[in-house]
């Protein structure tokens, strides 16, 4: 009887200990969740102030607190999804594409656990963006399609319009299916796009029609896109209009668009500098408020910061003035250089053939025959104009073969993918794959985020 009473007392004590430990664990888990939420909200504030590095640190610390909890509640899963979604957006903005995909994929798994269709839809789209930034277009298309299915299911018309635009721009245009890209972007314009996305859609259609050699349609949509007030978008429009004018032989108009491109580039740089200075000013004002009651030494430091800020502003203004002067001088000589270059290259059969193919496709233009001497002359003239381009190219990438060098010289002269694929007697898709192989295996640049043309023009 005595032993039974003792066992009963021990059992009671064990139950009390388990209850206390459970309550302590729950309390600790609740504290971790509260700390994570505070850090998440602080990260959102820092992100709005464009202090990306500090915001990312807050999000990562918040995830650490959530990882310390053994049992994840509905609220914690939702918080984890939001944190990863914001962290992925920061990574994507700053070019950390692997990290962006991992974060958005984690957010996607959380939204799946929650059964949140809208969250899943956005996460699928963000995963697609991350894959597209890594030029993994097939995977990007799969994620975009998943987002599209959910948007269709819940009848989210705004999202459907956004996805049509992104798929047309980021997948079909990149993979060379211009007709399908035009169809998608037109579907986006028929939907619910905001003014900014409408301008982007018009610009994208203009570029797609340019790639399709339908210059009249291209100019129609490019001119519509010019209603935008964004200097960066205008730069892309003017660059395409410049290319069209150049291929049409209208060098005066080409120079005009080049001047507009340079003006918008200066405006974009000036706006970016202004935003940076405004952020610095806000930071200095915050420091002044926090240290208003501190020592005279701190006040002297604040004055020094202001002097530095004013010095930076003055330096940027001087830099912009100098850059503008340089661009003005370049523009004055551009028309003359274009005429000289055109006269030199028009003596070569490869260049003339490519130029005719870019202007109009007929049985006459397609019936060309080029031999090795024509190509050798083309490369020699390219070296004359671009300061021994082929020699520098081979010295930098010695694995390049004869046809690889010819392709690079055609790209250097600004010919389109369609024209080059015709000269090579191959399909446009095959030419895209060939460029990828050249960059990855012969140039040894599998992780370079630049396009093939950007790599060539940098040489």
Whole-number pLDDT of residue 48: 87
Q: What angle do CA 370, 371, 375 make, to 5 degrees?
A: 85
* Domain around 271: 249-334
Gap between the Cα atoms of 7 and 25, Å rounded: 27
Look at residue 269 and tell me whether its pLDDT is greater than 70: no
User: Is 241 inside any structural domain?
Assistant: no
Q: Are residues 365 and 303 in the same domain?
A: no
| Structure tokens belonging to residue 256 | 């005009």
Tell me: pLDDT of 146 over 90: yes
Name residue, tokens 């929650």: 114
380 in the same domain as 284: no
More confident residue, 235 or 310: 235
Averaged pLDDT for residues 240-269: 80
Residue 90 sits in the same domain as residue 122: yes
* Backbone phi and psi for residue 191, each to the nearest 5 degrees, phi listed first: -95, -140
Cα dist. 441→366, 408, 459 in Å? 31, 15, 18
- Report how far apart, in Å, the C-alpha atoms of 453 and of each of 246, 359, 413, 457 are: 18, 21, 10, 6
Rounded to an integer, what distance in angstroms lies between the CA atom of residue 20 and that of residue 355?
A: 83
Asked whether residue 182 carries a pLDDT value surpassing 90, the answer given is: yes
Please tell me the predicted confidence (pLDDT) of residue 119. Answer: 92
What pLDDT, on the 0 to 100 scale, is given for residue 287?
44
pLDDT at 19 over 60: no
Give the best-scoring range by mean pLDDT among 122-126, 257-261, 367-371: 122-126
Q: Over the range 50-74, which residues count as b (16 or more CB within 10 Å of their CB) and which as e? A: ebbeebbebbebbbebbeebeebee
Does residue 27 sit within a domain? no
Is a pLDDT exceeding 50 seen at residue 432? yes
Please report, for the domain that includes residue 111, its CATH number. Answer: 1.25.40.10
40 and 107 in a single domain? The answer is: yes
Looking at the structure of the chain, the number of domains it has is 3
Is residue 227 helix, strand or coil?
A: coil
Last residue of a domain, one of 288, 304, 334: 334
The answer to whether the beta carbons of residues 375 and 344 sit under 8 Å apart is no
pLDDT at 116 over 50: yes
Mean predicted lDDT score pLDDT of the chain = 80
Is the model more confident about 192 or about 165?
165
In the chain, the percentage of residues whose pLDDT exceeds 90 is 27
Report pLDDT for 394: 92
Residue 323 sits in the same domain as residue 363: no
Residue 233 confidence class, pLDDT cut points 50, 70, 90:
confident
Listed residue (63, 58, 23) closest to 43, CA to CA:
58
Q: Which residue has the higher pLDDT, 314 or 458?
A: 458
Averaged over 1-17, what is the pLDDT? 53
pLDDT per residue over 83-104, tens digit each? 999 989 988 888 888 888 999 9
Give the best-scoring range by mean pLDDT among 13-22, 111-120, 255-264.
111-120
């Amino acid at each position: 009887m005595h032993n039974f009473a003792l066992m009963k007392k021990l059992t009671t004590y064990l139950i009390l200990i388990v209850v206390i430990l459970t309550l302590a664990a729950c309390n600790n888990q609740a504290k971790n969740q509260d700390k994570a939420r505070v850090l998440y909200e602080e990260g959102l504030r820092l992100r709005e102030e464009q202090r990306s590095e500090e915001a990312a640190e807050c999000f990562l610390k918040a995830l650490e607190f959530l990882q310390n909890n053994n049992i994840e509640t509905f609220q914690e899963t939702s918080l984890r999804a939001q944190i990863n979604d914001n962290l992925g957006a920061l990574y994507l903005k700053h070019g950390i594409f692997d990290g962006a995909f991992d974060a958005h994929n984690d957010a996607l798994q959380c939204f799946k656990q929650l059964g949140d269709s809208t969250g899943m839809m956005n996460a699928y789209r963000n995963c697609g963006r991350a894959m597209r930034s890594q030029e993994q277009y097939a995977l990007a298309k799969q994620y975009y399609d998943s987002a599209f299915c959910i948007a269709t299911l819940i009848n989210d018309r705004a999202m459907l319009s956004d996805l049509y635009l992104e798929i047309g721009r980021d997948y079909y245009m990149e993979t060379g299916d211009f007709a399908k890209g035009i169809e998608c972007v037109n579907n986006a314009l028929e939907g619910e796009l905001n003014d900014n996305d409408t301008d982007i859609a018009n610009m994208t259609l203009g570029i797609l029609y340019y790639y399709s050699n339908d210059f009249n349609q291209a100019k129609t949509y490019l001119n519509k896109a010019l209603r935008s007030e964004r200097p960066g978008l205008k730069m892309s429009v003017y660059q395409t209009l410049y290319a069209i004018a150049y291929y049409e032989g209208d060098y005066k108009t080409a120079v005009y668009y080049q001047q507009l491109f340079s003006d918008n580039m200066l405006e974009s740089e000036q706006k970016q500098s202004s935003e940076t200075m405004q952020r610095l000013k806000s930071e200095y004002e915050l420091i002044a408020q926090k240290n208003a009651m501190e020592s005279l030494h701190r006040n002297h430091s604040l004055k020094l910061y202001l002097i530095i800020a004013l010095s930076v502003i003055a330096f940027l203004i001087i830099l912009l003035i100098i850059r503008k002067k340089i661009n003005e001088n370049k523009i004055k000589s551009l028309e003359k250089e274009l005429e000289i270059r055109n006269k030199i290259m028009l003596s070569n059969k490869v260049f003339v053939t490519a130029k005719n193919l870019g202007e109009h496709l007929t049985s006459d233009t397609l019936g060309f025959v080029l031999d090795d001497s024509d190509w050798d002359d083309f490369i020699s003239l390219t070296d004359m104009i671009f300061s021994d381009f082929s020699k520098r190219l081979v010295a930098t990438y010695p694995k390049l073969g004869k046809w690889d060098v010819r392709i690079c010289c055609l790209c250097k002269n600004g010919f389109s993918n369609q024209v080059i694929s015709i000269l090579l007697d191959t399909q446009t898709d095959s030419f895209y794959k060939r460029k990828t192989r050249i960059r990855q295996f012969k140039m040894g640049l599998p992780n370079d985020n630049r396009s093939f043309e950007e790599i060539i023009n940098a040489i």
